[in-house]
Amino acid sequence: MADYVVGDLQGCYNEFITLLELVDFNPSQDHLYLVGDIVARGPDSLSCLHYLYQLQGSTCITLGNHDLHLIATYLTHKTPNPNDKLQDLFASEKLPEYINFLRQQPLAIWLENYNTLISHAGLNPQLNLQQALNFAHQAQACYQSKDASYFLAKMYGNNINCLSQATDELTQFTFTINAFSRMRFVDCNGKMNYKLKGAANQATDGLLPWFNHKPQNHQNINICFGHWAALEGETPYQNLFALDTGCVWGKQMTLLELKTQKKHSCNNFKEQQTNS
């Protein structure tokens, strides 16, 4: 019996299955956590979702920005962006079930026995662990409520970048979604910057990676996160595990065994030609 965390799939189904076979993943005994961004940009988002839907008892996803965008697109009856390569998924008669399945997933998971937080983007430095878990739980209630489309239609608030702006239910929702699914760099006050996507050492304008602002917030816990392929799996802290290693951009998919902290990886089968 083993517990694993896998980085962003983004539709890279063949590499995902190869990794599971590599570690002999047995869904009747083992458990798989996913840091989110199951779908979008890669070749087979439909198969990724279908596989996870079938293994519901053995898997748990912390939703990423692409997963939330998919839910929002569906619930607000928008047309998906062709660049996301979700045509097969939107043509599937199972899409309503997949959307319901995704809406049951959390933004964050705390694993007491591994002293480990799992989320798509990490732990916002303006929040301690308990606050973060509370916020994630409250946001989850919003996207699971009958008013989900109201909240999700308004989650794209680039002007909401710090905790002090979270003054009501909607602004707290937007802050929480941004913190858990979009964060990479923050400024010297901990305010999130949504533009910069590069490597940690490419920061400009006084920005710094979220994990370098108040590192005392995470010095006693492990964090598994994805979302930031430009980190190439590296952070300055041995207790922080950056698991998005850019499979969809032609690099690798990474899977971590929680007990041993051993990483396994699978190279992209066919290097992607487009980065659009």
HEC readout, the chain:
CCEEEECCCCCCHHHHHHHHHHCCCCCCCCEEEECCCCCCCCCCHHHHHHHHHHCHHHEEECCCHHHHHHHHHHHCCCCCCHHHCCHHHHHCCCHHHHHHHHHCCCCEEEEHHHCEEEECCCCCCCCCHHHHHHHHHHHHHHHHCCCHHHHHHCCCCCCCCCHHHCCCHHHHHHHHHHHHHCCCEECCCCCEECCCCCCHHHCCCCCEEHHHCCHHHHCCCEEEECCCHHHCCCCCCCCEEECCCEHHHCCEEEEEECCCCEEEEEECCCCCCCCC
Q: Which is nearer to Mn ion, 65 or 116 (CB)?
A: 65
Q: Which is nearer to Mn ion, 37 or 84 (CB)?
A: 37
Q: At closest approach, how far in Å is the CB of 67 from Mn ion?
A: 9
Q: Which is nearer to Mn ion, 65 or 265 (CB)?
A: 65
Q: Which is nearer to Mn ion, 64 or 122 (CB)?
A: 64
Q: Which is nearer to Mn ion, 25 or 63 (CB)?
A: 63
Q: At closest approach, how far in Å is the CB of 181 from Mn ion?
A: 6
Binds Mn ion (CB under 5 A): choice among 15, 37, 44, 84: 37
Which listed range, 34-42, 46-54, 91-99, 191-199, lies at the site for Mn ion (CB under 5 A)?
Answer: 34-42
Which listed range, 29-37, 54-62, 107-115, 125-133, lies at the site for Mn ion (CB under 5 A)?
Answer: 29-37
Rule CB under 5 A: which of 216-235 touch Mn ion?
A: 227
Q: At closest approach, how far in Å is the CB of 16 from Mn ion?
A: 16
Residue nearest to Mn ion (CB): 227
Rule CB under 5 A: which of 51-110 touch Mn ion?
A: 64-65
| Residue 184 binding Mn ion, by CB under 5 A | no
Binding interface with Mn ion (CB under 5 A): 37, 64-65, 227
